[in-house]
Amino acid sequence: MKFQMNDSAIIKQVNELMAQMSIEDKVLQMVYVDGPVPGNEAIIKEGRVGCVANVFTSSEINKIQSYTEKTKHAIPYLMIADVIQGYKTIFPIPLAEACSFDPDMVEKTSKAAAREAGASGINWIAGPMVDVARDPRWGRIAEGAGEDTYLNGVMGAARVKGYKDVDRMISCTKHYLAYGTGEGGRDYNTAEVSENTLRNVYLPPFKACVEAGTESIMIAFNDALGVPMSANKYLLQDVLRDELGFEGHLATDYQAIRELITHGVASDSIEACRKAINAGSELDMAANIYIEHLTGLIESGEVDSGIIDRAVLRILYIKFSMGIFENRYYDEELEKTITLGDDLKKIALESARNSIVLLKNDHSILPLKKSGSRILVTGPLADNNDAPLGWWRCQGKPENVITVLDAIKNTVAEKSTIEYLKGCEIIGGGSDEIESTVKAAGNADVIIAVIGEHAKMSGEAHCRSDISLPGRQLQLLAKLRATGKPIIAVLINGRPLDLSSVIEYTDAIVEAWQFGISGQAVADIIFGDFNPSAKTCVTFPRRTGQIPIYYNHKTTGRPHETPDTIEHLNDEALASFQTTFNSKYMDLKSTPLFPFGFGLSYTTFSYTEVAIENSNETFTAWAEVTNTGKVAGAEIVQLYIGDVTASITRPVKELKGFVKLHLAPGESKRAEFTISPDMLSFYNFENKLVVEPGQFKVWIAPDSATGNYQIFEIKES
Ligand code: BGC
């Protein structure tokens, strides 16, 4: 349910309090102070700012909250932290969890993370991140639900609900708007994007989170439509407040108000202050600009005091409604029992199992048998307890991670059949390790190579210009391939990588992502204790040069009709280019390596043709899905819709629904979807939300690249 300030009793309490507050008291409520930053101790001790960040234990937080109680108005602190993939019990990165296509599970992990954070005294989570990300070079792709608008909305809303379910906890949906589309995949870069695309692609996940009840939204660093977001009155006021009806609190990002000067739209900090406050930025995160100038600007009449009154009303309303005025302290004993509890670890395992995507499994080499074969475990990430935690690990510690090697040892029947050699480093290193590993491969029946990225190769400000496997890892795979032994690749990474060579050198690929603490999930999948069902929420490019590549692209006037024909630049390709003037590269196929929505299982599924029924102007689309294999499995069935003709160009198809069906061998179930008007609506040229009459294609399919469609028609009313 949308956050609304409609409780008159709370409004009364806030008004009474505000009547006693000075302008300075109010301005201080609009200030965020970073706890660990040297020099901030004094202001925290004064107890008068609105929010303190990055303090992590209940004893510390209780101490800090006690400062607020001693002040004239005794307004408790909001205590904020980036709980992106758990607090101390680390879950898979959000990109991985989105591959589960299971919002109930994501709500459960989010609630668990919020419970653990809340037990330590955190009451404001700086998440979820719902930035649609079509560029895997961008390091923060790890932090959201990937490239799809609808999926980001569903997962974001699930997280908001999970956080809300915890006592005294609120969320901060971020980063509004278009932060995921920085040019060249570089963090903080300009979002060169039309208003129409902003509305059709980047805005809907924020709408979903507003509707799920997020209490606050964080404003992005970047500019959009030529104006930095912290000063973007149009997108903050007209769109977010007036159109989406968001009534919660609007926080800027870290030092972003000061960055209005670097962006070149403010000549000094006073102008930055004026622009930010007038645009609707209500919390100054660590820029110290409101503290320096805002009181003065209000006293001199340069800024209307009504603006800060509205902002402070919202902050105090939230603080009252959370119940932190009555109780700002946390039970230090309870924190001990909740933190890293077995229940949390169980949820982490469930999440990792459901987030790991099986990308390749030639000749059903997986699952492996637990006994009877000699296994060589290799790769720089096999025995690595740091990389699985990813960049946003909050309070997660490597010592709590079960590595893939540990998990394999826990799972196989005879430990003696496992040999482990690192093979190479993630980055750098010499070739000696490779040679000895190749030698050891001679004694093995099967090789498990755990490869990928360092934890710090994704995350904020950690972008890559080339998304292939770093270091000598490919060399290791190539040499192991030459031994003729079967190879299972397990990938630990924060973004989809270029796997064009990995696919050639291996028999199976398990995309484990940065799975958090539960390496056991990887072994459960490799040895068949869990049948994988996740499907990728991002397109895997063949090469970095294909980026941006995403399933819901436009057709163009000249689509590439035979996208799978071109291998590389050769005479044939050159000759064909004399005659075929369409949208392609001369040196690469136009298709992705793995499409959005793709993932394998240890069983197989068949789909009937899509059927469409129309009764009382409501369309229902359905298909029968059957487990045609020998083991039970879960299939993520996806609904895509494409607008055949519209007043503006529209994507070839868009995900509009999905369902996970659990099927016993031979069992069939119907996947049925009611097609609602919002599934057909889009922002038109005038940026009005419309449903245009005409034909629509409907797919019910295992991924975004396969399946047949049916057509239905919406008649002019
Ligand atoms: C990030 C935000 C984060 C904030 C506070 C910023 O650099 O962009 O997502 O919430 O830091 O840690």
Question: Mind listing the pLDDT tens digit for each residue in 664-674?
Answer: 999 999 999 99
pLDDT of 652 > 80? The answer is yes
Is the distance from CB of 467 to CB of 548 less than 8 angstroms?
no
Tell me the average pLDDT across 689-711: 97
State whether the beta carbon of 256 lies less than 6 angstroms from ligand 1.
no
- The pLDDT assigned to 84 comes to 97
For the chain, the residue count is: 717
- The pLDDT assigned to 615 comes to 83
- The pLDDT assigned to 701 comes to 98
Is the distance from CB of 118 to CB of 164 less than 8 angstroms?
no
The 10s digit of each residue's pLDDT in 140-195 is 999 999 999 999 999 999 999 999 999 999 999 999 999 999 999 999 999 999 99
Nearest to 589 by CA among 618, 558, 616, 568: 568
Q: Which of 135, 253, 498, 643 is catalytic?
A: 253
Sign of dihedral through CA atoms 275, 277, 281, 283?
Answer: positive
State whether the beta carbon of 635 lies less than 6 angstroms from ligand 1.
no
pLDDT of 579 > 80? The answer is no
CA distance 359 to 365: 13
Distance 33 CA to ligand 1 centre (A): 13
**Probe target for ligand 1 pocket from 189, 253, 458, with the most ligand atoms within 8 Å of CB:** 253
Burial class (CB in 10 A: 0-12, 13-18, 19+), 465: exposed
Tell me the average pLDDT across 244-272: 98
The residue type at 565: T
CA distance 514 to 384: 11
Is the distance from CB of 685 to CB of 199 less than 8 angstroms?
no
- The pLDDT assigned to 567 comes to 78
State whether the beta carbon of 259 lies less than 6 angstroms from ligand 1.
no
Band (pLDDT 50/70/90 cuts) for residue 134 is: very high
State whether the beta carbon of 340 lies less than 6 angstroms from ligand 1.
no
- The pLDDT assigned to 413 comes to 85
Is the distance from CB of 670 to CB of 623 less than 8 angstroms?
yes
Sign of dihedral through CA atoms 284, 287, 289, 292?
Answer: positive
Q: Phi and psi at residue 397, in whole multiples of 5°?
A: -125, 140
What is the rounded average pLDDT for all residues in the chain?
A: 97
Tokens 């990937």 belong to residue:
146
CA distance 78 to 293: 22
- The pLDDT assigned to 333 comes to 97
pLDDT of 24 > 80? The answer is yes
Residue nearest to atom 10 of ligand 1 (CA): 126
Distance 287 CA to ligand 1 centre (A): 13
Sign of dihedral through CA atoms 450, 453, 454, 458?
Answer: negative
Helix (H) or strand (E) holding 79: strand 78-81
Active site residue 148: no
What token pair was written down for 154?
């569903």
Band (pLDDT 50/70/90 cuts) for residue 578 is: low
What is the position in ligand 1's atom list of the atom closest to the CA of 143? 9
Look at 200-214, 222-236, 313-327, 576-590 and tell me which has the smallest mean pLDDT.
576-590
Residue 471, CA distances (Å) to 403, 421, 693 in order: 21, 17, 54
Let me know the angle formed at the C-alpha of 524 by 598 and 159, rounded to the nearest 5 degrees: 60
pTM score of the predicted model: 0.98
State whether the beta carbon of 460 lies less than 6 angstroms from ligand 1.
yes
Quick one: how far is CA 136 from the chain centroid? 12
The 10s digit of each residue's pLDDT in 403-453 is 999 999 999 988 779 999 999 999 988 888 999 999 999 999 999 999 999
Is the distance from CB of 418 to CB of 404 less than 8 angstroms?
no
Helices (H), 375-489: 404-411, 432-441, 473-481
The CB density around residue 510, as the number of other CB atoms within 10 Å, is 25
What token pair was written down for 102?
């299971």
Radius of gyration of the chain (CA): 26
Is the distance from CB of 531 to CB of 632 less than 8 angstroms?
yes
Residue 611, CA distances (Å) to 400, 469, 622, 669, 700 in order: 49, 43, 5, 14, 9
Band (pLDDT 50/70/90 cuts) for residue 118 is: very high
Is the distance from CB of 99 to CB of 636 less than 8 angstroms?
no
The residue type at 536: T
CA distance 681 to 662: 31
Sign of dihedral through CA atoms 282, 283, 284, 290?
Answer: positive
Band (pLDDT 50/70/90 cuts) for residue 569 is: confident
Q: What percent of the chain has pLDDT over 90?
A: 94
**Probe target for ligand 1 pocket from 254, 255, 391, 463, with the most ligand atoms within 8 Å of CB:** 254
Residue nearest to atom 6 of ligand 1 (CA): 254
Tell me the average pLDDT across 106-135: 98
SS3 content of the chain, % helix, strand, coil (to 5): 35, 20, 45
Distance 461 CA to ligand 1 centre (A): 11
Residue nearest to atom 4 of ligand 1 (CA): 254
